[in-house]
């Protein structure tokens, strides 16, 4: 397929890119652009319009080419050919013009956009930096400080902001070809205007130092942001051509970093997880019923409303229904304040697409119901028996349970094929992760409906089989237990949190526990006590805290103390003596831990449980587990997720660690046969991703 064509049309010629799905700058597109510029040069046309077919102007370099040997023509050379043209080339933009796409536009002599277009240089989010002139042309167009902010944040800018900044010349209504043609007519008698020929703007060193500090703080262990900033500044001290070479060298250095490999892995992992089963048509899901107006029900309702769906929320009485409605309205008011939602749209949504009821009969014609009531099997089974009675045939019946057996819930109905699990993460209108729990009887078109709902909601959908905790919470339980055992053996919760945040997590397990509430873990341990294997060690200190009413932030004390003096929590001097007392009761002689050992144990537990989940086919592939940990549990994105990290760290090292730990506690450290097999054969988790990009 021809991905770039040149269309002569009298005094204005058209360079048209058509490389679905996002006009990425593959080798063929780069070659096609170079050929099209040559054809324009030879043509009688006075001005050319460069635009794209499909949903967006060029959205960047072709990420699937990264890590492979680079193929000519290289992008900087193609952009140089565009900018060097003796006749003006107008870039007409639409969609999301990102990375190399914006760099191509910066090489053109004018840049106009269709209303609604977004632009950006997101390379740092991939562990890279602009590598085709972005760090040298953008500062010449908008000044150093603004260019530095755009490049190191990697954020997307709306067209109006981009015009105000000087990145774009104009925004207009219409389609790209039309908007570009109108602009081209203004250039019929003008000479090309080249950004590379503009003088280097002065650099305010004070502002720059402030930005350097901000970038260092924000980057938190990442290398791309600081490197991009320094490469830009250094390049600007050189003539343009030298600056370009300097940029390219820095770009290629970053291309070789493990952070870049991890971030590209994460990019594809989150896109490879939730695909609709081939050839299966999803059922309708325009009208959604939600059972339960608590925190989860409210968040799910807001997410469904934001996706354009019609929502009926059921609560047990009018007061509870009104409270839920008020809370959802407030969430949408927040979206209006943040500029994410127009007031009129907010009012229309809450008036026409949202309602509450206290009688299940209100659900008689909905297409899909999401139950979000108390996490108790009997309560949920009662709800599903009622749904089975009132919902129309073919309605999808979903539970938001975070760990209960979806098969048992399905068996409470006469239509188990219509039952599925949709495990949202709180707050459900913010967190993108959605675990789709496939029960034994779940029909394929019900599964397809769940994936289609997730896509409409902008969720990252990951399929999971039925087990306690599904994928994320089951793995969380494993690495949380490893942390608790380190405490029993001598470490402090504060050291564990420091070691884990030092690895890159935003919070450690004890900070997370205090936030979620220590009563949750306590209730789980109580629930399991009767069937617990006697070899399993119990974090008695955690029970002591809960039994003392120290439940974390919500009671002002948990593992940390929370008060006006330290709203984010400070260590509690009473904690370590209490833990020491527990160790004495258990006859444990405490020992020192290094942060590295804590991290190794934490990660070994995470990887080992992940391998078990893969072996039991609860998760479909390792990159799905990465997507879950990245989007639901704060795993540092520049490490790619536990599976990608484990491959880089070395499966043989992890297996050796587990075998060492098992000498002291064989029950806790039972090595996954899959992990052992991979390590023994030099395999990697990546080998199990089914060839996905």
Q: Counting contacts by CB under 6 A, is residue 228 touching ligand T1G?
A: no
Shortest Cβ 62–ligand T1G spacing (Å)? 5
The 3-state DSSP class for residue 612 equals helix
Q: Which residues contact 44 (CB under 8 A, 6 or more apart)?
A: 8, 10, 11
Cβ atoms of 136 and 235 closer than 8 Å? yes
Q: Counting contacts by CB under 6 A, is residue 60 touching ligand T1G?
A: yes
123 tagged catalytic: yes
Q: How far apart are CA 462 and CA 113, in angstroms?
A: 36
Of the candidates 130, 243, 293, 521, which one interacts with ligand T1G according to CB under 6 A?
A: 130
Q: Which of 83, 103, 183, 609 is catalytic?
A: 103
Neighbours of 309 (CB within 10 A): 21
Q: Counting contacts by CB under 6 A, is residue 243 touching ligand T1G?
A: no
Burial of 238 (0-12, 13-18, 19+ CB in 10 A): middle
CA dist 98 to 108, 157, 298, 476, Å? Answer: 15, 10, 34, 35
Of the candidates 33, 34, 61, 419, which one interacts with ligand T1G according to CB under 6 A?
A: 61
Q: Counting contacts by CB under 6 A, is residue 70 touching ligand T1G?
A: no
Interface with ligand T1G by CB under 6 A: which range of 91-99, 295-303, 540-548, 659-667? 91-99
Shortest Cβ 24–ligand T1G spacing (Å)? 4
Q: Counting contacts by CB under 6 A, is residue 162 touching ligand T1G?
A: no
Shortest Cβ 399–ligand T1G spacing (Å)? 27
Q: Counting contacts by CB under 6 A, is residue 293 touching ligand T1G?
A: no
Q: Counting contacts by CB under 6 A, is residue 103 touching ligand T1G?
A: yes
DSSP assignment of 40-106: HHHSS-SEEEEEESTTSS--SB-GGGTTSPP-SSPHHHHHHHHHH-SS-EEEEE-SEEETHHHHHHH
Dihedral sign of CA atoms 620, 622, 627, 633 in order: positive
Shortest Cβ 514–ligand T1G spacing (Å)? 35
Q: How far apart are CA 242 and CA 235, in angstroms?
A: 7
Q: Which residues of 428-450 are buried (b: 16+ CB within 10 A; e: fewer)?
A: bbebbbbbbbbbebbbbbbbbbb
Of the candidates 47, 97, 119, 128, which one interacts with ligand T1G according to CB under 6 A?
A: 128
Q: Counting contacts by CB under 6 A, is residue 604 touching ligand T1G?
A: no
- Counting Cα atoms < 13 Å in the Cβ hemisphere of 445 gives 10
Q: Counting contacts by CB under 6 A, is residue 270 touching ligand T1G?
A: no
Question: In sequence order, which ranges of 85-223 are alpha helices (DSSP H)?
Answer: 100-107, 134-142, 144-153, 159-165, 176-185, 205-219
Cβ atoms of 117 and 95 closer than 8 Å? yes
Cβ atoms of 394 and 370 closer than 8 Å? no
Q: Counting contacts by CB under 6 A, is residue 126 touching ligand T1G?
A: yes
**168 or 398: whose CB is closer to ligand T1G?**
168
Strands 560-561 and 570-571: antiparallel
**321 or 628: whose CB is closer to ligand T1G?**
628
Shortest Cβ 236–ligand T1G spacing (Å)? 17
DSSP assignment of 626-657: HHHHHHHS---GGGT-HHHHHHHH-HHHHHHH
Shortest Cβ 113–ligand T1G spacing (Å)? 15
| Tokens (6 digits) for 618 | 């609860």
Residues β-bridged to residue 156: 120
Burial of 583 (0-12, 13-18, 19+ CB in 10 A): middle
Q: How far apart are CA 377 and CA 406, in angstroms?
A: 9
Shortest Cβ 140–ligand T1G spacing (Å)? 16
User: How many angstroms from the chain centroid is the CA of residue 575?
Assistant: 35
Shortest Cβ 437–ligand T1G spacing (Å)? 23
Q: Counting contacts by CB under 6 A, is residue 100 touching ligand T1G?
A: yes
Q: Counting contacts by CB under 6 A, is residue 96 touching ligand T1G?
A: yes
Interface with ligand T1G by CB under 6 A: which range of 128-136, 142-150, 170-178, 638-646? 128-136
**266 or 311: whose CB is closer to ligand T1G?**
266
Interface with ligand T1G by CB under 6 A: which range of 34-42, 124-132, 593-601, 656-664? 124-132
Q: How far apart are CA 395 and CA 184, in angstroms?
A: 54
Shortest Cβ 99–ligand T1G spacing (Å)? 2
Number of residues that bind ligand T1G (CB under 6 A): 24
Residues β-bridged to residue 163: none
**22 or 410: whose CB is closer to ligand T1G?**
22
Of the candidates 29, 39, 90, 98, which one interacts with ligand T1G according to CB under 6 A?
A: 98
Q: Counting contacts by CB under 6 A, is residue 271 touching ligand T1G?
A: yes
Q: Counting contacts by CB under 6 A, is residue 679 touching ligand T1G?
A: no
Site string for ligand T1G, 14-53 (x = CB under 6 A): -------xx-x-----------------------------
Q: How far apart are CA 336 and CA 639, in angstroms?
A: 35
**128 or 409: whose CB is closer to ligand T1G?**
128
Strands 460-464 and 110-114: unpaired
**248 or 601: whose CB is closer to ligand T1G?**
248
3-state SS of 261-290 is: HHHHHHHHHHHHCCCCCCCCCCCCCCEEEE
Q: Which of 83, 123, 371, 609 is catalytic?
A: 123
Q: Counting contacts by CB under 6 A, is residue 62 touching ligand T1G?
A: yes
Of the candidates 107, 122, 421, 636, which one interacts with ligand T1G according to CB under 6 A?
A: 122
Of the candidates 36, 132, 157, 671, which one interacts with ligand T1G according to CB under 6 A?
A: 132
Burial of 510 (0-12, 13-18, 19+ CB in 10 A): buried
Interface with ligand T1G by CB under 6 A: which range of 93-101, 195-203, 371-379, 678-686? 93-101
| Residue in the block written with tokens 């080998």 | 687
Shortest Cβ 614–ligand T1G spacing (Å)? 22
Of 89, 196, 206, residue with least CA distance to 138: 196
Of the candidates 13, 32, 99, 622, which one interacts with ligand T1G according to CB under 6 A?
A: 99
Shortest Cβ 92–ligand T1G spacing (Å)? 18
Shortest Cβ 131–ligand T1G spacing (Å)? 4
Of the candidates 64, 237, 376, 566, which one interacts with ligand T1G according to CB under 6 A?
A: 64
Site string for ligand T1G, 445-484 (x = CB under 6 A): ----------------------------------------
- In the complex, the residues that contact ligand T1G under the rule CB under 6 A are 21-22, 24, 59-64, 75, 96, 98-100, 103, 122-123, 126, 128, 130-132, 134, 271
Q: Give the active site residues.
A: 103, 123
């Amino acid at each position: 397929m021809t991905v770039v064509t040149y269309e002569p049309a009298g005094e204005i010629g058209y360079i048209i890119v058509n490389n679905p799905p996002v006009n990425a700058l593959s080798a063929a597109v780069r070659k096609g652009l170079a050929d099209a510029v040559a054809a324009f040069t030879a043509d009688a046309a006075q001005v050319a319009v460069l635009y794209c077919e499909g949903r967006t102007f060029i959205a960047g370099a072709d990420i699937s080419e990264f890590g492979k040997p680079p193929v000519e023509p290289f992008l900087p050379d193609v952009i140089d050919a565009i900018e060097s043209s003796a006749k003006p080339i107008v870039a007409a933009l639409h969609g999301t013009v990102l990375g190399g796409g914006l760099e191509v536009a910066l090489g053109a002599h004018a840049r106009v956009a269709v209303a609604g277009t977004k632009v950006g240089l997101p390379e740092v989010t991939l562990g890279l930096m602009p590598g085709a002139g972005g760090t040298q042309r953008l500062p010449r167009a908008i000044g150093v400080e603004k260019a530095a902010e755009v490049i190191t944040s990697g954020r997307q800018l709306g067209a109006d902001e981009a015009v105000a900044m000087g990145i774009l010349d104009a925004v207009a209504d219409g389609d790209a070809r039309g908007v570009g043609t109108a602009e081209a007519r203004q250039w019929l008698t003008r000479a090309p205007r080249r950004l590379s020929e503009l003088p280097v703007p002065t650099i305010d060193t004070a502002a720059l130092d402030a930005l350097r500090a901000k970038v260092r703080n924000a980057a938190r262990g990442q290398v791309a942001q600081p490197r991009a900033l320094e490469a830009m500044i250094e390049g600007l001290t050189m003539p343009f051509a030298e600056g370009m070479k300097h940029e390219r060298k820095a770009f290629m250095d970053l291309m070789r970093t493990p952070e870049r490999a991890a971030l590209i892995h994460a990019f594809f992992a989150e896109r490879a997880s939730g695909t609709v089963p081939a050839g299966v048509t999803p059922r309708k899901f325009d009208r959604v019923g939600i059972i339960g107006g608590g925190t989860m029900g409210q968040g799910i309702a807001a997410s469904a409303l934001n996706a354009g769906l019609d929502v009926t929320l059921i609560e047990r009485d009018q007061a509870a229904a009104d409270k839920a409605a008020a809370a959802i309205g407030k969430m949408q008011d927040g979206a209006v304040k943040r500029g994410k939602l127009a007031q009129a749209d907010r009012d229309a949504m809450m008036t026409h697409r949202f309602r509450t009821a206290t009688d299940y009969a209100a659900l008689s014609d909905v297409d899909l119901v999401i139950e979000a009531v108390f996490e108790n099997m009997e309560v949920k089974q009662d709800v599903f028996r009622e749904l089975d009675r009132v919902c129309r045939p073919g309605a999808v019946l979903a539970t938001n349970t975070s760990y209960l057996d979806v098969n048992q819930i399905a068996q409470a109905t006469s239509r188990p094929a219509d039952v599925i699990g949709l495990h949202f993460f709180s707050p459900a209108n913010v967190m993108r992760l959605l675990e789709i729990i496939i029960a034994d009887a779940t029909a394929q078109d019900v599964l397809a409906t769940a994936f289609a709902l997730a896509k409409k909601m902008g969720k990252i959908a990951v399929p999971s089989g039925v087990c306690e905790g599904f994928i994320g919470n089951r793995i969380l339980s494993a690495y949380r237990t490893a942390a608790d055992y380190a405490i029993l053996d001598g470490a402090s919760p504060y050291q564990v949190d420091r070691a884990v945040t030092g690895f890159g997590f935003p919070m450690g397990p004890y900070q997370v526990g205090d936030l979620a509430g220590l009563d949750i873990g306590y209730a789980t341990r109580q629930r399991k006590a009767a069937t617990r294997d006697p070899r399993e060690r119990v974090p008695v200190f955690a029970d002591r805290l809960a039994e003392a009413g120290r439940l974390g932030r919500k009671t002002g004390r948990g593992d940390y103390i929370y008060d006006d003096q330290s709203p984010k929590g400070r260590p509690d001097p009473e904690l370590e003596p209490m833990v020491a007392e527990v160790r004495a009761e258990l006859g444990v002689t405490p020992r020192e831990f290094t942060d590295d050992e804590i991290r190794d144990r934490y990660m070994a537990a995470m990887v080992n449980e992940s391998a078990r989940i893969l072996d039991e086919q609860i998760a479909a592939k390792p990159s799905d587990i990465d997507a879950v940990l990245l989007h639901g549990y704060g795993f540092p994105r520049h490490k790619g997720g536990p599976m990608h990290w484990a491959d880089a760290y070395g499966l043989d090292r992890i297996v050796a660690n587990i075998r060492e730990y098992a000498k002291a506690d064989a029950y806790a450290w039972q090595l996954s046969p899959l992990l052992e097999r991979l390590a023994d054969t030099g395999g990697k988790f990546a080998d199990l991703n089914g060839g996905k990009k």
